[in-house]
């Protein structure tokens, strides 16, 4: 099998919290705590988990917008954490990001044409008339009119602004797009339009996506594989179909049970988890999920389960499958 486009190994991000009069490090937030996965060319990997589970930090570390505390990131086989600034700038052209809040990620004082053109200027692509032509093409590509290039972000709806964000990400012809909650701020009807657009663009340009979301139902149709995160760790990675039909990890089961099913005969009971997600500054000993897990055993409070391959080929970190 060919090499994955992106591979991350043992990625960690610890944020020190300083306190007291002397400003000493009083505690450490383990936002991401040893995450490994790979993404193949043309594939979509969904990363799902509740707010604060480390999914966005993982996405940002994968393109080195945040420097990891430990771990490795390989893009096309290159260890990008060891690249010089200029090498990293060149590599960043191949990895683009789409953000959750299209309004916050677009400069309100710039015209849409200028916003989309900017990454091409940064990466020295084409002359000014070539870039303007490409802006028009990109606007058409994402379902907007070239005429909109002269308008400002506030003149667009949320869905249209996200289309502008997508056009901007596509401007430099990236290979990998990391989409961080790209439809969470949109109405449900607009969500599916944007998801369909992302799928069409993927087929057309053989794009690879990492699609980050807090809602399993959103990533279901777009992802080939899904990684579920809890408290800075991946607890299950599986191909999408198997994960949705037969979730293995108790946390995945609980998340899935909260997804509404449009079938009155389906009587799946919702699993209500007790308590809140613990603070990543004080993760529980043993399995990070043990104090909320409905099927926790004695060993769960003592030993950290490792992510292991199960019989059907998925990866699960849970003592139930040891
Ligand atoms: Fe639940 Fe134990 Fe599995 Fe953790 S290791 S998910 S506590 S059964």
DSSP at 246: S
Residue 285: what are its φ and ψ, rounded to 5°?
-70, 160
> Would you kindly state where each structural domain of the chain is located, as residue ranges?
6-94+174-321
Position 103 scores a pLDDT of 74
Q: Are 231 and 289 a contacting pair, CB within 8 Å?
A: yes
Question: Which residues lie across from 39 on neighbouring strands?
Answer: 6
Distance 252 CA to ligand 1 centre (A): 11
How big is the CA angle at 268 (ends 265 and 271), to the nearest 5 degrees? 160
Distance 300 CA to ligand 1 centre (A): 6
This prediction has a pTM of 0.93
* Ligand 1 first shell, C-beta below 6 A: 250, 287, 289-290, 293, 295-297, 300, 305, 318-320
Residue identifier of the C-alpha nearest atom 3 of ligand 1: 318
Position 258 scores a pLDDT of 78
Tokens (6 digits) for 119: 């990454």
Position 1 scores a pLDDT of 61
Query: Which class in CATH covers the domain with range 6-94+174-321?
Result: alpha beta
Q: Which atom of ligand 1 is nearest to the CA of 235?
A: 6
Helix, strand, coil percent values for the chain (each to nearest 5): 35, 25, 40
Query: Per residue of the chain (322 residues), what is the pLDDT tens digit?
Result: 679 999 999 999 999 888 777 778 778 999 999 999 999 999 999 999 988 899 999 999 999 999 999 999 999 999 999 999 999 999 999 999 999 877 777 888 999 999 999 999 999 999 999 999 999 999 999 999 999 999 999 999 999 999 999 999 999 999 999 999 999 888 888 999 999 999 999 999 999 999 999 988 889 889 999 999 999 999 999 999 999 999 999 999 999 987 766 666 666 678 888 888 888 888 899 999 999 999 999 999 999 999 999 988 899 999 998 7
> Taking the CB of residue 80, how many other CB atoms lie within 10 A of it?
20
Q: Are 146 and 140 a contacting pair, CB within 8 Å?
A: yes
Position 238 scores a pLDDT of 95
Ligand 1 test: best mutation among 49, 273, 283, 290, most atoms within 8 Å of CB?
Answer: 290
């Amino acid at each position: 099998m060919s090499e994955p486009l992106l591979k991350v190994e043992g990625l960690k991000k610890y944020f020190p919290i300083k306190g007291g009069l002397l400003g000493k490090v009083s505690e450490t937030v383990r936002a991401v705590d040893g995450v490994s996965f790979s993404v193949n060319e043309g594939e979509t990997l969904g990363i799902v988990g509740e707010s604060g589970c480390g999914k966005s930090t993982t996405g940002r570390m994968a393109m080195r917008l945040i420097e990891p505390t430990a771990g490795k990131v390989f893009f096309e086989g290159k260890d990008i954490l060891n690249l010089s600034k200029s090498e990293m700038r060149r590599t960043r052209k191949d990895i683009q990001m789409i953000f959750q809040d299209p309004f916050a990620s677009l400069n309100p004082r710039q015209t849409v044409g200028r916003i989309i053109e900017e990454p091409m200027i940064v990466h020295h692509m084409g002359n000014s008339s070539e870039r303007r032509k490409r802006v028009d093409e990109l606007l058409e590509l994402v379902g907007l009119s070239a005429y909109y290039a002269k308008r400002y972000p506030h003149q667009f709806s949320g869905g249209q602004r996200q289309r502008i964000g997508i056009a901007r990400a596509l401007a430099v012809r990236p290979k990998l797009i990391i989409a961080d909650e790209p439809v969470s701020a949109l109405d449900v009807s607009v969500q599916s339009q944007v998801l369909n657009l992302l799928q069409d663009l993927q087929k057309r340009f053989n794009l690879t996506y990492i699609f980050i979301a807090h809602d399993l139902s959103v990533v279901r149709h777009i992802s080939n594989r899904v990684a579920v995160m809890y408290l800075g760790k991946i607890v299950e990675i599986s191909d999408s179909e198997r994960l949705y039909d037969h979730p293995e990890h108790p946390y995945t089961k609980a998340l899935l049970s909260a997804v509404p099913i449009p079938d009155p005969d389906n009587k799946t009971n919702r699993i209500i988890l007790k308590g809140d997600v613990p603070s990543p500054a004080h993760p529980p000993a043993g399995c990070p999920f043990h104090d909320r897990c409905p099927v926790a055993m004695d060993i769960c409070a003592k030993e950290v389960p490792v992510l292991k391959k199960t019989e059907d080929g998925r990866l699960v970190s849970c003592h139930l499958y040891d």
